[in-house]
Structure 1
Amino acid sequence: MGGLTVNVKQGWLRGTREKSSVGGSYISFNGIPFAAPPVGNLRFADPRPPLPWTGVRDASKEGPKCIQFDLITSTIVGEEDCLYLNVATTSLQGSRPVMVWIHGGAFIFGDGSSAMYSPDYLMKTDIVFVSIQYRLGVLGFLQLDHEVMPGNAGLKDQVAALKWVKENISQFGGDSNNITIFGESAGSASVHYHLVSPLSKGLFHKAIMQSGVILNPWVITPPTVETAHRLAALLGKETTDVHEIVEHLRTIPALQLIQAELQVPTPEDKIRFLFPFRPSIDDKSEQPFLPKNAKELAVKGIDVPVIIGYNSHEGLFFLMGLVDETLETVDKNFEVVVTENLIAENPSKISEVASEIRNFYFKDKSVTRETLDDYVQCYGDLYFVNGVLKTVEYQQKKPKTPTYLYKFTRENPQSMSKLLFKVPLKGAAHADELPYLFHTKLYADLFKFEPNSIEQKLSDAMVKMWTDFAKTGNPTPQTDNDLIPVKWSPVTRTSKNYLEIGDELSARANPDEEVSQLFNRISDIVKSQ
C-alpha cells in the first residue's frame, strides 16, 4: 500500500499529513470507527465491535460529534452515529508512548475534535495522541436500573475505544504497553472511573485527571428510574414497563430525545448544575462498569501513577448565565447549596451542614452580586476541590504508586471563560489550563502566545511535564533552570506535596488546607447523632 496507510484489525486506513501551528507536520488518521454505529436496535445498548470494511478507508476527515445541545449556539448539533476516534503520530515506525484524551462537558456536551483539542504542541514531544468520542446525555447515560437498560453506555464506549487503542496502536508507531489516559472535567472524572472500573483493568498504564473525580457531586447519579419515566412521559409513553419504555424511546428521533432531555431537570437541579443523565451504579448489567458506589471504589485507591489537580477559581464556571433570581434563591434557602453526597449518610443534618458552609464562605453577608467572589469559591470547592483533595487523601493512605498533585493559578486575560462566557471576575477558571496543552483551532486568534511570553513558557513547561509523565511516570525526570526549575514531588503519607502552576512553577505543600478542614467538620456533623 505504501504512503500514509496502516492496516488495523478492521481494514486499511489512509491518513493525511497535517501542518502544525507551531512548525513542522505530523500524520493524522481521523474518523476511525471503534464500535458499530449505536443506532436502531443498538441505541442505548452496550457498544458492539466495529464492522470491517474492504479497500482503503479514507481517514482524512473527523467523524461527527455525538448529538448534543450546543451551549454556545443554543442549537442541537451532531449525530447519533458518532463512535469514532482520531490518531496523530509523527511516524508509523517505532514504539512511542501513547496519550488518549477524553473530552469534558458534564457528560452532556463536548467532543474530541481538533477544533478544540488539536495536538500540535504535544506532537513536538514524540508521543502518539488519540482523541475519542462517546455517547452523551440521554443516549449515553439513560438507565432503568434493569438489565435491559442498566446505564453507563457512554463510559462503556470509552472502554471500547481503549480496547481498540490497545489492539491497534502499534500500527501507528505507538507502544501498547505504555498508554496514558487523560481528560478534563467530565473527561477527568471518566479517567477516575476507568481507574476503579473492573472493565478498564489493563487497558492503560498511567492517568492524568484535570478538575474532575468520581467523588464530585455532579459526576454520579443515584440509580432512580423516575427520571427515565419522566422522559418517557414527555415523549408520549406513560408506563413503568421497562421493555415498553426502551422500545418506545428507540422509535423517537434523536433530535427529539435531546429536546426532551432539556425539559427534565427541575429548577433545583439547575441551581445545583445537576444534569439528569449521568454515570450511575449499573450492577444490573451483564458486565457492570460501576458495580458499586463510587466512594467505595475510590477509597480502595489507584494503582497506577497519576497526576491530579484543579484550578484556583473552578467556581467561575457557575457564573455562566447566572441571574439575580438564583442568588436570591440561594440566599433565602441556603440548603439548596448542600449537595447530596455530603449528607447521604444522614440527610437530617442538612440545615447544620448548610449553616457550616454558609458561615465559612459568607460569614454574615448575604448572597448577592457583591459577594460573587465568595460564591465562586463556595461552588468551586463543593463541586471540584473537595473531591480532588479527598481522592488525594485516599492515595496518601495507600501510596502504592506515585500521585502528583497540582493547583493551576495562572490567570490568562484571554481565557475561555473570560472570552466566551464573559465571566467578570479574576482567577483561573474551570478549563483555563486547556489552551496551554492544546492548539484550539476554533479560537486560534484568541489564544496566540507571543514568543517568550509567560503564556508560551507555561505552555512549553506543561506540555513537557505532561508528556514526560506519559513517557516515564514522572513529570519532572529532569529539571532545568529555564523551563522547569523545580522538582515536582509526589504526595507522601504526611504531606500533600503539590506543584503550583502559576506565573511560574513552584513546589509547595498542603493546598487549601482550611477547605479540607471544613469538609472534615461537615463529615463529623453528619456522623454525629
Structure 2
Amino acid sequence: MEIMVRFIGELSIFLILINQYQSAEVPSVSSKLGTITGETKSVTFQGNKYQVDRYLGIPYAKPPTGDLRFQPPQPFGSFSETYNAVDFGASCPQPSYPTMPKENKTDENCLFLNIYVPRQKPDEPSGHAVMLYIHGGGLSIGSGVFYDGSVLSSVENVIVVTINYRLGLLGFLDIDNEKAPGNVGLLDQHLALQWVNENIGTFGGDKDRVTIFGQSAGSTCVAMQMMYPSNEGLFRGGITQSGALSIPGMYHENNINIAKFYARSLGCSFETKDEVLKCLKEASSETIIKVFVDATSSGDFESAASVGATPTIDGKFIRHNLGDLLKKAETETFEEIDFFRSVKLINGVSGDEGAMFLTMGGSAETLEEFEVTREQMNTQQIPGAVAIMYGNKPVPEVVQQLVISEYTDWVNPDDPKRLRQQVVDLFGDFFYNSPAIEMSRVHCNGSDVDSYVYNFLPKLDKPLIPLPKWVKHASHGDELGPVFGYSFDLRDLFNISEYTPPEWELDLSNRVMRYWTNFAKTGDPNKPNPGLSVVWPKYDVSSQSYIKFDREDSIGQYLYARPTEFWKKIVPAVIDATEHAQTVTEQFGKKEEQTCDNDGNCG
C-alpha cells in the first residue's frame, strides 16, 4: 500500500512537471472566443535573457472582401476549434519594397492582431498594463508584423499588441454614401481596441490600463482615435510619435475624385458614383495597388496626389476637420476636444524631422555634397512648401516673402551649407514640429489630465532612414529602435546579419522603454519603476517644459515655440488678410465705366 501511494505521488509530480513543461512550450488561453494557443520566444537585451509568450495572427474582424470591401469591419466572432496562433496573418494589400520583412505576405483578408505576453508576474493584481501599437507608413504601407513587441513586453513587463488595418484606397475610399462611407481603416483600429477591451483579460491584461501608441501616420491615427468619443473606456493614454492632427493635407471632404482617377486608370466608366464603385469592387487588390504604384512612380506630382486616399470628414468618425478644431478649441467647446483632453498624452518629435524629405533627392551618399542656393530656396523650396499649405493655389507674394525672411540665417544668408539646414528646418517645422506643439498646447490647456512632450535628438549609429553625415540629429522614425528594444530584423532593414547597437544606444533604449511603460502602467512616465536619471516634467502652456532624449537626457523649455507661432498664427493671419484685401479690391476697387447721354452729360 505504501509503495502504491508513493508511486501515485511520484506519478502526480511527474504529470505536474510534464504539464508545466508543455504549458511552457505551448502557451494556451481559454477565452469566450475559444481556445487560442501560441508559442514561447526567448529574447536577450543587454545581456539579460527573457521569455515572452506570442500569440500571432489572431483575426479580430471578418475578411473585408466581397460585399464587405469598403465597408466598416464586422467582428470575427468565436473559433469553432482551437486556434493555433503561431504565424503572422497576412498584411493588408500594399506596394512591395526592398526592406519588407520576409514574414510579410499580403492579402485582402488581413485584419489580424498579435499579442506579446511577458512571463512575469503582473505589476498589479488586476493584470498587466497593455500597449497597443498602430503602425505608420503614410496610411499606404505597413503591418503589425514589422514591429516585434517581444523585447518591450518582456523587459518592461507589459502586454504589447500590434495590429493590421486597411490601407490606401481599400481603407479610406469615401464616395459620400453608405456604399463606401470612408475611414474604414480607422474603424478597423477602433474594432481592434474593442477586441482588446473584451478579451485581453484572458491573456492576463488589465483592460482598464490600455495605452495606444504609434509613429508617423500611426501617431496621427492615435491622435484621431483620441478625438473619437466612441472610444471612451477603451484606453486611458496615448503616445504620439512624430504625427499630429493638423498635418497639412490630412483631411478631405470625400475621395470621389481619387476614386474616379482609379476607375479611369482601370479602364472603367466613371460618370456616376455607382459606376465607379462597381469598378473598384470588381477590381482585384493587385490591380488597385498597381494603379497606386504607377502613379506615385511616374514623377508626375498631380498623378501621385490623385491616388493618396486620406481620412475624410465622413460625419461619423470625423465630423469636423480635426486640425480646425484645435484652432477653435481656444474659444469653443467640442465633444471631440473634451474626449481628447480626458486621455493622458505623451507627444513628441525627432530633432531633424525634415531630413527625411532629403531622400526624395537621392541617396545618403549623393546627398553628402547637397547644397542649396539662395535662388533655389526662394524660387523652389519655400514656394513648394507654402503651396501645400495653400492648397496648391497661387501663393501671395507677401506670404512667400514672409517665409523667406523666417528661414534665412541673416548672419550669412547665402551660405549653401546653412541653406540646406534651413530646408530641413522648413519641412520639419511645417509638417511635424508646429502641428505637434499645437496639439500638446490644446491638450494641456484647460485639461485635468497629464500631458508630456519629448524631443528625440541623438544621431544613431544605424538611423532608420540613411541620411548624409551633415544631418546632426535624429530624423523621422529613429526612436523606433529604442522604443522596441532594437527587436527589428536587421537583415531586412540594413542588409546586415550581425549587428549590436553601441552600449550608449542600448542604455538609451532602456530609458525610453522605461518611460513609455511607466506611462502605460501609471499614467506617469516617472513611476512606478525608478532608475531614471531625469524627472520628466509635465507640459503646460506657461513653462512648456519637455524632456530631451540624447546620450544624456535633460530638460528644456519652449520646444519649437517660434515655428509654432509662425506657422499656426502669423502665416494664416497674413493669408486671411491678403485674401480679405483682394476681396475688397475686387468688390470696390474697379471704377464704374462712365456713360454719356446724347446731350453730353456723363455719369
TM-score normalised by the chain length of structure 2: 0.79
SS at match of 1:378: helix
Q: Distance in 2 between matches of 1:435 and 1:96?
A: 23
Superposition deviation, residue 367 in structure 1:
11
- Secondary structure of the equivalent of 2:156? coil
- The residue aligned with 2:312 is 280
Partner letter of residue 112 of structure 2?
Y
- Written as runs of structure 1 = structure 2, the 5 A alignment for 1:66-465 is 66-72=92-98, 78-91=106-119, 95-113=127-145, 115-264=146-295, 269=301, 276-283=308-315, 288-298=316-326, 299=329, 300=337, 301-322=340-361, 332-333=379-380, 334-338=382-386, 340=388, 342-343=389-390, 350-362=396-408, 371-418=419-466, 425-438=471-484, 439-443=486-490, 448-450=500-502, 453-465=503-515
Q: 1:469 aligns with which of 502, 512, 519?
A: 519
Match of 2:6 in 1: none
The Cα shift of 1:26 comes to 0.9
Find out whether 1:7 has 2:30 as its counterpart. yes
1:339, distance to aligned residue in structure 2 (A): 5.3
Distance of 1:257 and 1:378 partners within structure 2: 34
1:122 to 1:53, Cα distance in 2 relative to 1, 3 A: closer
After superposition, the CA RMSD in angstroms is 3.1
1:31 aligns with 2:77: no
Change (3 A) 1:440 1:271: farther
1:485 deviates by 1.7
DSSP-derived class of the 2:342 partner = coil
Conservation of the 8 A alpha-carbon contact between 1:268 and 1:336: no
Uncovered stretches (5+) of structure 2, i.e. residues with no partner: 1-18, 330-336, 492-496, 581-603
The CA deviation string for residues 377-418 of structure 1, in whole angstroms up to 9 with x for no partner, is 111111111100111221242222111000110111211112
**CA drift at 1:163:** 0.6
Question: 2:39 is aligned with what amino acid?
Answer: T
Calculate percent identity across the aligned residue pairs: 27
- Given the superposition, is the C-alpha separation of residues 367 and 349 from structure 1 closer, same or farther in structure 2, using an over 3 Å criterion? farther
**Cα deviation, residue 317, structure 1:** 1.1
In structure 2, do the counterparts of structure 1 residues 224 and 25 end up closer, same or farther at CA, with 3 Å as the change threshold?
Answer: closer
Question: Would the alpha carbon gap of residues 373 and 161 (structure 1) be closer, same or farther in structure 2, given more than 3 Å must change?
Answer: same
Q: 1:117 and 1:434 mapped to 2: Cα distance?
A: 11
Letter in structure 1 aligned against 2:557: A
Residue identity opposite 2:246 in structure 1: L
Offset at residue 164 of structure 1 (A) = 0.4
Q: Which residue of 1 aligns with 2:595?
A: none
Q: Can you list the C-alpha shifts for 1:308-330, whole angstroms capped at 9, x where unaligned?
A: 00001011111123159998987
Distance 1:509 1:228, change over 3 A: same
Deviation of 1:280 (Å): 1.4
Structure 1: tracts of 5 or more residues without a match: none
Aligned in 2, Cα 1:39/1:93: closer, same or farther, shift over 3 Å? farther
Q: Is the 8 A contact 1:70 1:77 kept in 2?
A: no
- Larger gyration radius, structure 1 or structure 2: 2
2:288 and 2:147 map into 1 onto residues whose CA distance is: 26
Residue-by-residue CA offset, 1:219-271 (whole Å, 9 max, x unaligned): 33342421111111111112232222222211111111001123446967489
Aligned 8 A contact 1:272 1:336 in 2: no
Q: CA deviation at 1:368?
A: 7.3
Cα distance in structure 2, aligned partners of 1:178 and 1:478: 14
Aligned residues: 516
- Give TM-score scaled by structure 1 length: 0.89
1:54 and 1:74, CA in 2 relative to 1: closer, same or farther beyond 3 A?
Answer: closer
Pair 82,422 (structure 1): closer, same or farther in 2 beyond 3 Å: farther
> Is the Cα contact below 8 Å between 2:251 and 2:311 reproduced in 1?
yes
SS at structure 1 position matched to 2:537: coil
Question: By how many angstroms is 1:184 displaced?
Answer: 0.5
Distance 1:143 1:264, change over 3 A: farther
TM-aligned CA distance change 1:244 to 1:296, over 3 Å: same
Q: Is the 8 A contact 2:238 2:344 kept in 1?
A: yes
